[in-house]
Chains A and B, each alone.
Chain A
Amino acid sequence: MTTSILTSTLQTIKTNWQTMSVRQRLLKEYRTLEHNNLDGINPILTENLHLLYADIKIFDNELYQDTYRVKIMIPEQYPYVSPVVIFMKSTEDNINTIPIHPHIYSNGHICLDLLGPAWTPIQTINSLLISLQSILASNSRNERPSDDEKYVAKAPKNPSKTRFVYHDETI
């Protein structure tokens, strides 16, 4: 099904050269995402080129038994600006939690420098998903960030509006 979306998107591309590079880049990335078949990462493309989901499974860590879903929003300025990534609660069967992690807030926002200043245009959605999988896999602390309540109470809808302080080098 995803391939048909891809081809239909390809057909509907209008030669608007300004957004051309974003499309071209995204299409290439989506193609690699499909071909790579990463272990435990299942990308879900949508009709919208700038929006996709991914289900992430973690192996060998008893903290994370579920499958977790992230929503990935691609801004217009991509790839010069990082995508916006949020863990989400889904209504579908076994995907109903936001993983408990010292850098993941209970509203799904992620404090990860790769999503902020450390992002560079050579990062890809692929590399981003692998990073997410690995920060979960390597974690052993079953806790939320210390300022979780405070942050969630007044967090902006878009986490890219938050200026996180990346102080923890341990995880």
Chain B
Amino acid sequence: MSDDQSFMNYSPDEFESDAEFEYEDDDEVVEVASASQSDDGVVDDDYDDDEGDGEFEEGDYENDNAGDASDFKQEDTLSTKKDLVEYKAHSTKDLVAKLSAQTKNISSVLELTDDNALTLLQFYSWNSERLMEEYMDDPDRVKTAAGVIVDGSTKAGSTFKKYNKGEFMCFICCDEKTQTYQLSCGDEYCLDCYSKYIKDKTSSGKVIKCPNCDVALNSQDLDFIAGEGESFKLIESSIKEYVERHRSYKWCPSVDCPNVVEILNFADIPNIVSENHVPVVTCNHNHQFCVSCSFENHTPVPCGIAKQWVTKCKDDSETANWIMSNTQQCPKCDSSIEKNGGCNHMTCKKCRYEFCWICSQDWTSHGTSYYQCTAFRDNPNDKAKNKEKEELTAKQKLRNLTKNSLKKYLHYYNLYAVHESSTKLDDKRCKFVEEKVRELQETSGISWIEAQFLVESAEALLKARKVLKWSYAFAYYCDRTGLLDIFEEVQAKLAESVENLSKLFEIEDPLEIVRNKLEFLNKSHFLQERQKAMISCTLESIDYGCLSGKD
């Protein structure tokens, strides 16, 4: 079967004719459909809905199912691939609750006060198993190491003291102070110094100890010295520690997003990635990101390629490439010179050296043959010159090569960058429009449910644009074959519908927006279908080995 035919599955016409598609005549297409179906056997097991056994034979397709039904079945499967990652989204509050539950658990098992249990857990970086184990072994040693006062010791608790002027000099600030705080270890410092010391340490999420010895400050000490809520701040930063310690927890990488995602099948992530699926999760604030890369959702591009692309874009090497392919160094002072027109008689602006662009030699040797390099014709039999010429052509070839690859890169990068900035604009625009509609809701009594179409369309738009954006990175790493032509056609159609929907969001008048509700719904539904087509087309391309990953 030829590759091109198999791709007819995703030809843009399919969606134009709204899935009125006839498979019956075309055996080969069906074969592909069933082939890719069995590739995703894992998915089928879990997410099968109506097909039952998940085993398809060609015959089944032709006889029982209408072409379009099987087609959509396949796309449903593809779209549920992101569900391969089983996860739970947590907010910071959830985690605080989780940590206090863990503290309560420890305090009851080890018969400690909550305060002491908290200190011990913080000291053990929330590794309760290790804490339990070592505590059972030698409770006193664990307590002393963490700075928890051992029961039955003669030392008194913490005290707040007041002095008259001149009676107490704080060791830290070397100043006479009237208010001090003393821990059970007997070390005493002024309140100001203590408070500064604590505020500096709170962000670490670790146990805060007396500046002079190992005694830990408990939450009462913290709240008394640095003000109500300080101990809570410490617990909050403990979360950071907790998440970093547990590899199955991931911070949402979006800017300022405080949410965490817990991955339930963490061990499967490498498998998911190696099968070129993107393990995408959604945090409580509706940010989608890839668990493996801790980066935005880069569907349909596999993780490895996405990483390659991002580093490439960040890397200055492209600048270097540009300099290499477009400039030459002045033979005398080595400054980079770009020739942007004119003849080959160059004069370096820096050192005023005159040379020939072609042979990089002193211009005076060119004598009277103005504006033409005859350096090679002078002595055609001269071996040294010939060698030089060979070297030069090799250099030229390399330059051309870099020039071409740079051109290719810039082409795709520009497309990628345009959609990246458009995503931001879309986001702004969508929020603006939503705000408008909210106003309208209040003034003209449109129900909340009626206005939801706008939120959904905005989401669809942002998602589709992201897929589109990444498809350009994908295309950069693809070999140029017939498949890529089809890929690009699908891509163009996706781009078109993205722009169409984006345009709808430019309507300012809220009443007009509501009037266009059907349009919004149609366009976003259409866009979602196109997006699915794009994703499945990408996956097919990978299956057929088009993705070379080479620059």
Name A's B-contacting residues (CB within 8 A): 20-21, 24-25, 28, 77, 79-81, 117, 120-122
A27 closest partner in B (C-beta): B174
Among candidates A24, A81, A120, residue contacting B173 with C-beta atoms closer than 8 Å: A24
Given contacts A120-B211, A120-B212, A121-B211, contact A25 B200 (CB under 8 A): no
Among candidates B171, B175, B196, B200, residue contacting A122 with C-beta atoms closer than 8 Å: B171
Provide the residues of chain A in CB contact with B212, threshold 8 Å.
120, 122
Provide the residues of chain A in CB contact with B193, threshold 8 Å.
80, 121
Given contacts A120-B211, A120-B212, A122-B211, contact A81 B200 (CB under 8 A): yes
Q: Give min CB distance, A125 to chain B, whole Å.
A: 13
Q: Do residues B175 and A24 form an inter-chain contact, with CB atoms below 8 A?
A: yes
Name B's A-contacting residues (CB within 8 A): 171-175, 189, 192-193, 196-197, 200, 204, 211-212
Q: Do residues B174 and A80 form an inter-chain contact, with CB atoms below 8 A?
A: no
Given contacts A120-B212, A121-B211, contact A25 B174 (CB under 8 A): yes
Q: Do residues B175 and A21 form an inter-chain contact, with CB atoms below 8 A?
A: yes
A25–B169 CA distance with the chains assembled, in angstroms: 11
Provide the residues of chain A in CB contact with B171, threshold 8 Å.
122
Provide the residues of chain B in CB contact with A20, threshold 8 Å.
175
Q: Do residues A21 and B173 form an inter-chain contact, with CB atoms below 8 A?
A: yes
Provide the residues of chain A in CB contact with B174, threshold 8 Å.
21, 24-25, 28
A24–B192 CA distance with the chains assembled, in angstroms: 15
5 contacts between A and B (CB under 8 A): A24-B174, A24-B175, A80-B197, A120-B211, A122-B212
A16–B537 CA distance with the chains assembled, in angstroms: 69
Provide the residues of chain A in CB contact with B189, threshold 8 Å.
121
B172 closest partner in A (C-beta): A121
Provide the residues of chain B in CB contact with A24, threshold 8 Å.
173-175
Q: Give min CB distance, B106 to chain A, whole Å.
A: 25
A121–B198 CA distance with the chains assembled, in angstroms: 11
Provide the residues of chain B in CB contact with A122, threshold 8 Å.
171-172, 211-212
Provide the residues of chain B in CB contact with A121, threshold 8 Å.
172, 189, 193, 197, 211
CB-based closest 4 A-B pairs? A120-B211, A21-B173, A121-B172, A25-B174
A77–B193 CA distance with the chains assembled, in angstroms: 11
Given contacts A80-B196, A122-B212, contact A25 B172 (CB under 8 A): yes
A79 closest partner in B (C-beta): B172
Provide the residues of chain A in CB contact with B192, threshold 8 Å.
21
Provide the residues of chain B in CB contact with A117, threshold 8 Å.
204
A77–B196 CA distance with the chains assembled, in angstroms: 9
A21–B172 CA distance with the chains assembled, in angstroms: 9
Provide the residues of chain B in CB contact with A21, threshold 8 Å.
173-175, 192
A122–B170 CA distance with the chains assembled, in angstroms: 10
Q: Do residues A80 and B200 form an inter-chain contact, with CB atoms below 8 A?
A: yes
A28–B175 CA distance with the chains assembled, in angstroms: 10
A24–B172 CA distance with the chains assembled, in angstroms: 10
A21–B175 CA distance with the chains assembled, in angstroms: 7
A22 closest partner in B (C-beta): B173
Q: Give min CB distance, B168 to chain A, whole Å.
A: 15
Q: Give min CB distance, A74 to chain B, whole Å.
A: 14
